[in-house]
Amino acid sequence: MDKITIIVPCYNEAEVIDLFYPAVQEHVAKIDDCRFDYVFVNDGSRDETLDKLRALSAAHDDVTYISLSRNFGKESAMMAGIDYATGDAVIIMDADLQHPPSSIAEMVKWWRAGYDDVCGKRIDRAGETWLKRSCANLFYAVMKKFSTSYEMQRDVGDFRLLDRRCIEALKLMRENQRFTKGLFTWVGYRKKEIPFEVQPRAAGATTWNYFALFNLAMKGMTSFTTAPLRLMTFLGVMISFGAMAYMLFVLTMALLYGDPVAGYPTLITVMLFLGGIQILSLGIIGEYIGQIFHETKHRPIYLVDEIDGKRMIYKPQLQPIERNTIKGD
């Protein structure tokens, strides 16, 4: 008998939680020889999500909930789910039923056929605005150009089934600035993409906006490639060569023809151009320093406040333990 844990990150999802459980149950009940359980992660919701989860886990033995101490973001919430999942595989799903539970059977089928990472690939981006689609296109194009070691999967998100091998590998990566999509690709193993259509939200509102998307894209880039830094070096070299060539040109003009090249317009153009490049380079370096700043603190990815009604506390191992408990030779 296989056991699969369904991980559901929830942020202000009080309206959909009661719809989610029966909708998924209806589909997973039909899958043979497989037991499902659920890990709901309450990511510091401000509405009644936690109360709903308490009620749900009291009513069903197969439901566990983990409530984080505040809102840590979906990436961290997913990591909490992964840390506490006990199944032979996990399926990560959004709480808002945008990921169709009807795809689960197909995911399980491919998993049993030997794939470790069965990911849902969106076959429509129709519900999205032109701007959002263009931004996505640009992001994938840039990432593809820059990350040479592996290829980022297109139109593939967090909706996926992961074998325990992938889960254990993901647990090794305790970085703070998590770009999960890239991490899934980074761990490798056998991947299979299955098509699915993103459903309209069952209820509630999305928490995403363009600013959040931009931040995610920046995080994706800075945590998976240092190519922008290389690009800046390259640009610096090119501009220096350009400047040298231009200097020669000006000198020649002045010496041979006594022609003083128009000063003010050229000066201002070159100054503004170089100023722009300098600020951009500083910004890019800053992004990477920011990453280093966040990572060197080695803070935990999330803090747990409550698990299934029990209030949790962290006990850092700072107290000495008895010498005899660790024996030398």
CA distance 299 to 175: 9
Q: Which of ligand UDP, Mg ion, none binds 223 (CB below 5-8 Å, type-dependent)?
A: none
Look up residue 147 and give its two tokens. Answer: 């990350």
Q: Rule CB under 5 A: say whether 225 interacts with Mg ion.
A: no
3-state secondary structure 27-47: HHCCCCCEEEEEEEEECCCCC
Q: Which is nearer to ligand UDP, 10 or 217 (CB)?
A: 10
Residue ranges that bind ligand UDP, judged by CB under 6 A: 9-11, 13, 43, 71, 73-74, 77, 94-96, 98, 206-208
* Residues contacting 91, CB < 8 A, separation 6+: 4, 5, 6, 7, 104, 107, 160, 161, 162
CA distance 51 to 227: 46
Q: Which is nearer to Mg ion, 20 or 72 (CB)?
A: 20
Closest approach, Cβ 269 to ligand UDP, in A, equals 42
Q: Rule CB under 5 A: say whether 43 interacts with Mg ion.
A: no
Q: Which is nearer to ligand UDP, 181 or 191 (CB)?
A: 181
- Within 10 angstroms of residue 122's Cβ, the number of other Cβ atoms is 19
Closest approach, Cβ 246 to ligand UDP, in A, equals 48
Q: Rule CB under 5 A: say whether 98 interacts with Mg ion.
A: yes
Work out the angle between the directed axes of helices 180-187 and 74-84 (0-180°, nearest 10): 40
Nearest Cα to 162, choosing from 75, 213, 224, 87? Answer: 87
Q: Which of Mg ion, ligand UDP, none binds 86 (CB below 5-8 Å, type-dependent)?
A: none
Which burial class, exposed, middle or buried, applies to 106 when counting CB atoms under 10 A from its CB (0-12, 13-18, 19+)? middle
Among the listed ranges 27-35, 46-54, 87-95, 279-287, the one in contact with Mg ion (CB under 5 A) is 87-95
Q: Which is nearer to ligand UDP, 81 or 228 (CB)?
A: 81
Closest approach, Cβ 207 to ligand UDP, in A, equals 4
Closest approach, Cβ 71 to ligand UDP, in A, equals 5
Closest approach, Cβ 189 to ligand UDP, in A, equals 24
Q: Which of Mg ion, ligand UDP, none binds 77 (CB below 5-8 Å, type-dependent)?
A: ligand UDP
Task: Count the residues of the shown chain that bind Mg ion, applying the rule CB under 5 A.
Answer: 3
Work out the angle between the directed axes of helices 210-224 and 180-187 (0-180°, nearest 10): 30
Contact between residue 151 and residue 99 where contact means Cβ atoms under 8 Å apart: no
* Residues contacting 249, CB < 8 A, separation 6+: none
Based on DSSP, count helices (H) and strands (E) in the chain, helices before strands: 10, 9
Q: Which is nearer to ligand UDP, 93 or 169 (CB)?
A: 93
Q: Which is nearer to Mg ion, 64 or 98 (CB)?
A: 98
Q: Which of ligand UDP, Mg ion, none binds 207 (CB below 5-8 Å, type-dependent)?
A: ligand UDP
Q: Which is nearer to ligand UDP, 14 or 89 (CB)?
A: 14
Q: Which of Mg ion, ligand UDP, none binds 228 (CB below 5-8 Å, type-dependent)?
A: none
By CB under 5 A, name the binding residues for Mg ion.
94, 96, 98
